[in-house]
Amino acid sequence: MALQDRILDEAIAAAKRWSHEEVEPRHVLWGIVRVLGSSAPADLKPEAIRPFLEPPGVAVSPPTISAAAQTVLDGCVSTEGATAQARSVAAALASGSSTPAAPDAGPQVTSRPVVAQAEPDATSAAAELPSSRPVARESIASILAELDALVGLAPVKVEVRRLVAVQRLNAERRRNDLPEVDGSAHLVFTGDPGTGKTTVARLIARLYGALGVVSQGHLVEATRADLVAGYVGQTALKVQDLVLTALGGVLFVDEAYALARGELVDFGDEAVAMLVKMMEDHRDNLAVIVAGYREEMWDFIRSNPGLRSRFTHYIDFPNYDAAELALIFESIAGQARVRVDASVLARVGELVEEARSVEDFGNARFARSLFERAYANMAARATADDRVDPDELDVMIAADLPEIESSSADRRRRIGFGAN
């Protein structure tokens, strides 16, 4: 794989880990340092440039590549060029700019002359890296208000508030020279797909940051593929890198039970062992949340004594009822500025009751899938006569929703509500 492609892969992975909408020069900088490894400038190491990737975003779609990032990538045709680009981006970010000046990267294949510039003082730039910058703390009350605004999840909200209470009381006890009562920040989320586990994990990461449980408060999402490699010795390195990315925040491992479901020749156990070690090594500045189906997660935690001793707090996420999923559907429509009336929501409730018999019912994912299919029907209706009336731009009617099928197989085929 070409150098540029490898750097781009790492840059995209970084943007996804931090939930950023675009691949920017800062992500390319991370990619350069990761790909060059020991050949990267000594003053530009992952732990030094990681703060540039903060704060985390809220994007859920794959990131796009910005024009500025593409410009930096275009200069990475050689190790020397990539090094020059890394220094330029680091200098720009340290000075508060998001777009670096074009560096003198040596001979380049280009359609226009490259204007030679003085190379940035990388030593001084690295000295200004924001590893020790103070983090702006969010209001605990405002984050809890976001939690309360989520549809349903009443027992989850109670448990999260208990977590906050424990951490607040422990903080007061520390200030009064009293010992803390064990309030482990590591959590196990159990429940079916689409029940809000990732959304709540993001809020907990921010709460931990606001409470001072961790230094930053970002969330890094991972699955088995992000932790397990295919060759001896690589898995431990992958886990170490991922934990260092999450340091100061929360590492969220979805479908964590898959780590204990490999073949005989598999490195899932190695990943678990290294994760347990890293949790202990960084216990003062890292929280880990593992999530998955109820039975599978209980089996996973029992599979390793280290997991059993560190994960002692479980939060179960109940399935949404029909009324709650209708509210979620209404919220999705509102975000898209599509109007729905009571007849539409009543129809959504009917579809929820029918679709629950389908294997892998997706809860909130069902509501989003249903809205997307209904919107497609709405679009077909609006454009059927080759003209679009004003009301057809933003009004969804009950007829736009899919028909209820008599067989679950047909429902799966026509509606497509399997978990994404």
What CATH number does residue 101 fall under?
A: 1.10.1780
Question: Is residue 370 assigned to a domain?
Answer: yes
Question: Is residue 157 assigned to a domain?
Answer: yes
pLDDT the model gives residue 184: 82
Residue 11 and residue 97 in one domain? yes
Residue 252 and residue 154 in one domain? yes
Residue 211 and residue 311 in one domain? yes
Q: Residue 403's domain is classified under what CATH number? A: 1.10.8.60
pLDDT the model gives residue 216: 83
Residue 44 and residue 178 in one domain? no
Residue 196 and residue 72 in one domain? no
Question: Is residue 223 assigned to a domain?
Answer: yes
Q: Cα separations (Å) of 315 from 14, 23, 292, 377?
A: 29, 34, 11, 38
Question: Is residue 228 assigned to a domain?
Answer: yes
Number of domains composing the chain: 3
pLDDT the model gives residue 238: 81
Residue 193 and residue 291 in one domain? yes
CA–CA separation, 153 and 316 (whole Å):
9
Residue 329 and residue 280 in one domain? no
CA–CA separation, 319 and 357 (whole Å):
13
| Structure token pair of residue 271 | 């990943």
Question: Is residue 420 assigned to a domain?
Answer: no
Contact status, residue 381 vs residue 392, Cβ threshold 8 Å: yes
Residue 312 and residue 326 in one domain? no
Residue 70 and residue 155 in one domain? no
CA-only gyration radius of the chain, Å = 24
Q: Residue 285's domain is classified under what CATH number? A: 3.40.50.300
Contact status, residue 289 vs residue 253, Cβ threshold 8 Å: yes
219 lies in which domain range? 140-317
Residue 182 and residue 124 in one domain? no
Q: Cα separations (Å) of 145 from 150, 157, 165, 263, 418?
A: 9, 11, 15, 44, 31
Question: Is residue 106 assigned to a domain?
Answer: yes
pLDDT the model gives residue 200: 93
Closest by CA to 246, choosing from 224, 228, 221, 268, is 221
Contact status, residue 10 vs residue 31, Cβ threshold 8 Å: yes
Q: What is the mean pLDDT of each run of 10 residues along the chain (420 residues)?
A: 80 82 90 83 79 75 85 88 88 75 40 32 37 56 90 92 89 81 85 89 91 86 80 76 86 86 62 86 88 89 85 90 88 88 88 73 83 89 82 84 57 41
Residue 271 and residue 236 in one domain? yes
Strand 250-254, strand 219-222: pairing: parallel
CB atoms within 10 A of CB 151: 17
Residue 281 and residue 328 in one domain? no
Chosen domain end from 293, 317, 341: 317
pLDDT the model gives residue 137: 63
Q: What is the pTM of this model?
A: 0.62
pLDDT the model gives residue 59: 64
| Structure token pair of residue 44 | 């530009």
pLDDT the model gives residue 96: 77
Chosen domain end from 131, 166, 183: 131
CA–CA separation, 404 and 408 (whole Å):
10
Chosen domain end from 131, 148, 167: 131
Question: Is residue 246 assigned to a domain?
Answer: yes
Question: Is residue 177 assigned to a domain?
Answer: yes
The three-state (H, E, C) secondary structure of the chain, written as one string:
CCHHHHHHHHHHHHHHHCCCCEECHHHHHHHHHHHHHHHCCCCCCHHHHHHHHCCCCCCCCCCEECHHHHHHHHCCCCHHHHHHHHHHHHHHHHCCCCCCCCCCCCCCCCCCCCCCCCCCCHHHHHHCCHHHCCCCCCCHHHHHHHHHHCCCCHHHHHHHHHHHHHHHHHHHHHHCCCCCCCCCCCEEEEECCCCCHHHHHHHHHHHHHHHCCCCCCCEEEECHHHHCCCCCCHHHHHHHHHHHHHCCCEEEEECHHHHHCCCCCCCHHHHHHHHHHHHHHCCCCCEEEEEECHHHHHHHHHCCHHHHHHCCCEEEECCCCHHHHHHHHHHHHHHCCCECCHHHHHHHHHHHHHHCCCCCECCHHHHHHHHHHHHHHHHHHHHCCCCCCHHHHCECCHHHCCCCCCCHHHHHHHHCCECC
Closest by CA to 26, choosing from 86, 103, 101, 95, is 86
